[in-house]
Amino acid sequence: MKKFLFLSLLFTLVLTSCSDDDNKTQGTANKGTLTVNGVDYDVNRAYLIPNYTGQNPEYDKRRFYIVLANGGLSLNNNEFVYSGGITQLIDFNLYTSDGNPGSIEETTYGLWSNTPNTEAYIAHAGINTDVEVQNGEFISANSLSSDDMDSRQVTISKNNGVYTITFSFSNETNTVTGSYKGTLQSLNYNYE
């Protein structure tokens, strides 16, 4: 009986010790809001397709993707698989500055231009609300494109493994703003 009590106490101690370490980077709950023309939507999950770090010249080491959503997202054979719970998401196709390939640069990403882009920039963002998903596939949504916006900006910062992402897009008829604070779940994109 003493061995059982000792093992139970030891097991409890180990579990308590592990959970304290795990919560250091998870101390902040993932939380975010996407606001489209004055209507707020929750985006409490964030996903990352990291920069390419290999040697194949066909892939740009500056490029990476972030998706903010209110539900689950995964990759299967490099294709997105959406959970049935997703009703809104915004995806960002971003490029770091020339001096920071292979990383997520903590900076403000601005407008893409036709001139050589040596600074960090947004290549594209898709803003989707009222998303319909069927069998893991994106079927339809009310969608806006950053390509149609006159002003666009994404700012990324990081502190102790917690990212803060703020964004804004606008044109004459649409205004999109939002923010997210939390961790990024890396998706395993197969570049090769």
Helix (H, G, I), strand (E, B) or coil at 181: strand
Distance CA(164)–CA(109), nearest Å, equals 13
**pLDDT value at residue 118:** 85
Q: Which helix (H) or strand (E) holds 123?
A: strand 121-134
pLDDT band at 4 (very low <50, low <70, confident <90, very high): very low
Digit-coded pLDDT (tens) for 101-145: 888 999 999 987 766 678 899 999 999 999 999 999 999 999 999
Assess whether pLDDT exceeds 80 at residue 16.
no
6-16 b/e with 16+ CB inside 10 Å = b? eeeeeeeeeee
Digit-coded pLDDT (tens) for 166-180: 999 999 999 999 999
And the tokens for 134?
């069927």
Q: Tokens 């339809």 correspond to what residue?
A: 140
Give the pTM.
Answer: 0.83
Helix (H, G, I), strand (E, B) or coil at 135: coil
Do residues 188 and 139 lie in contact, with contact meaning Cβ atoms separated by under 8 Å?
no
Helix (H, G, I), strand (E, B) or coil at 7: helix
Assess whether pLDDT exceeds 50 at residue 49.
yes
Torsion angle in degrees (nearest 10) through CA of 50, 54, 56, 58 = 10
Amino acid symbol at 87: T
